[in-house]
Amino acid sequence: MKLSLSIGKTGNLSGAGFGQLFWRLFGRLNPYRRDNDSPRHHPGMSVEDKRSETTERTPLHGSPDERAARALAEPGGPLIECRALTHTYHTRLGTRITAIADVTLAIDAGEFVCLLGPSGCGKTTLLNMVAGFLAPTAGELRLDGKAIHGPDPDRGVVFQDYSLFPWLTVESNIAYGLLMAGMSAERRKAEVGALLDLVGLPHIGAQYPFELSGGMKQRVAIARALATHPAVLLMDEPFAALDAMTRESLQRQLLDIWTRTRKTILFVTHNISEAIFLSSRIVVLSSRPGRIVEDIRLPEDSRPRKRTSPEFNRLYERLAQAIGVEGSE
């Protein structure tokens, strides 16, 4: 099946475009149907459930491209594979712009990877290619060994601007993909209830988006993205529009969700502190055209990470230098 979808040069979807995406995607792709008499896929079964547990990798050495090449060559392979990705586009005036160039990246199942870099470096472009919204101009892009040719329920997306349907209740917003996939009303209700519990909003199912704060809307958006049990959760600066206190609160909650589910997360941000606090790995892109200049794996035993610790601030300064900024955010 081939999907086409119009997206502006900023990479953002309008409300109408988002609705179009859901109708065309979930109306045709049903992860709960029977295929050639195979057993019905259980909605609680994620791709990670099917993959064997992997042992923690040894510390990485070498340049980012060398490390990615080694990971791609390992038995079993990573969950997400980007090989020499390049994306170019033409402006209204006909100017040819290269957003990212020759990006090679391997992401294992269960990793929390932050894409960090200055504005305009191609972070969202790379995320949109993994989502299937954009096609690479050159290079290869695979999920679990299969080429990515368009959007799919295996990749849940959380946008910057919530993109909730204002005419639907919270419960109906979260259940929308499940409805399009053909899940029964009883099962949808159970799934939505569990997701609202997961994001800490168990009693707001009957409310509408206009009745919610910005932080609550984004938690609903996260619940909706998780509803189809995707292999990967893609997040495009989801907390950028929130005030500092709400942002830090949602960072802690997202980290708790990741700890409980071990969902593979690819998270776009230009906030250095956010990347250090959340990530198991930080991939730094250069200014346009975006190329990987740093690929840092953070030790899990350093969690929870204190923003005032010497280690946190040393890494902050290293990353600030890598993306060419000075001072605090």
Q: Is 274 helix (H, G, I), strand (E, B) or coil?
A: helix
Instruction: Find the DSSP H helices in the chain.
Output: 15-26, 47-50, 64-73, 123-131, 170-180, 185-198, 214-226, 244-261, 272-278, 310-323
Q: Residue 74: what pLDDT?
A: 53
Whether 118 contacts 323, CB under 8 Å:
yes
Q: Is the peptide bond before 43 cis (omega within 30 degrees of 0)?
A: no
Q: Give the pTM.
A: 0.76
Which residue numbers in the chain have pLDDT < 50? Answer: 1-12, 14-16, 23-24, 26-65, 67-72, 75, 327-329
Rounded to whole angstroms, how far apart are CA atoms 22 and 116? 28
Would you state the pLDDT for residue 122? 93
Instruction: Confirm if 285 and 292 have CB atoms less than 8 A apart.
Output: yes
- Confidence (pLDDT) at 208: 97
32-38: long-range contacts (C-beta < 8 A, 24 or more apart)? 32/181, 32/182, 32/183, 33/182
Q: What is the pLDDT of residue 326?
A: 58
Which element (helix H / strand E) includes 98? Answer: strand 96-107
Supply the pLDDT for residue 300: 87
Residue 327: Cβ within 10 Å count: 5
